[in-house]
Amino acid sequence: MKTRVARFPIEPIILNRWSSRALSGESITEHEFMLLIEAARWAQSSFNNQPWRFLYALRDTPDWQMFFDLMIPFNQEWAQRAAVLIVVVSHILFEYNGKPSRTHSFDTGAATQTLTLQGYAQGLVAHAIEGFDYEKAHKVLQIPDDYTVEAMIVVGKPGKKDLLSPELQAREEFTDRKETELILCRGCWSIDKKH
């Protein structure tokens, strides 16, 4: 597997966290799971609104199939060996005044990132996906109308690459990131529009 090289000396946990699809099929304990949620709980948010909510199903529990059935077949192929499936939801209104929040998705993304970093620190895979039925999730999970479904996170213990299909095995490596000049502008917008 290729290695990642940062242009500046950032923290290794940030550089080395990645979204593997190779999972072992083992369960994790409720305590291991709650460590992830505790990390997410401490994320920053506008006005400390904390709009994130996490709905989950542990492997081998009655709710598992309901969550699993939300995913597209491509993700079901590898996520069948997950320990936990999480649906990430955000409250679209500020709780202190009931007005629309422009940052609910941004804030919930921050909580998701702290969750995935905690997962990496615990030796777990925490892989966020968009390949699932958002409308079905909203309905079957009985999510209120003032909440929006943001993503799913597939959590599990790392497994062997050879458990994956040849197509997925080929993807099972570190991905690179865009160069700084493609994401950063000093002053006014100066990035080529095609990026």
Q: Find out if CATH 3.40.109.10 is the number for domain 12-163+173-182.
A: yes
Q: What is the pLDDT of residue 1?
A: 60
Give the pLDDT confidence of 5-64 residue by residue, as tens digits: 888 888 888 888 888 888 999 999 999 999 999 999 999 999 999 999 999 999 999 999
Q: What is the pLDDT of residue 124?
A: 97
Highest-pLDDT range among 16-20, 31-35, 165-169, 176-180: 31-35
Q: Is the pTM of this model over 0.75?
A: yes
**Ranges of each domain in the chain:** 12-163+173-182
Pair type for strands 125-129 and 147-156: antiparallel
Q: Tokens standing for 186?
A: 């000093």
Q: What is the pLDDT of residue 195?
A: 54
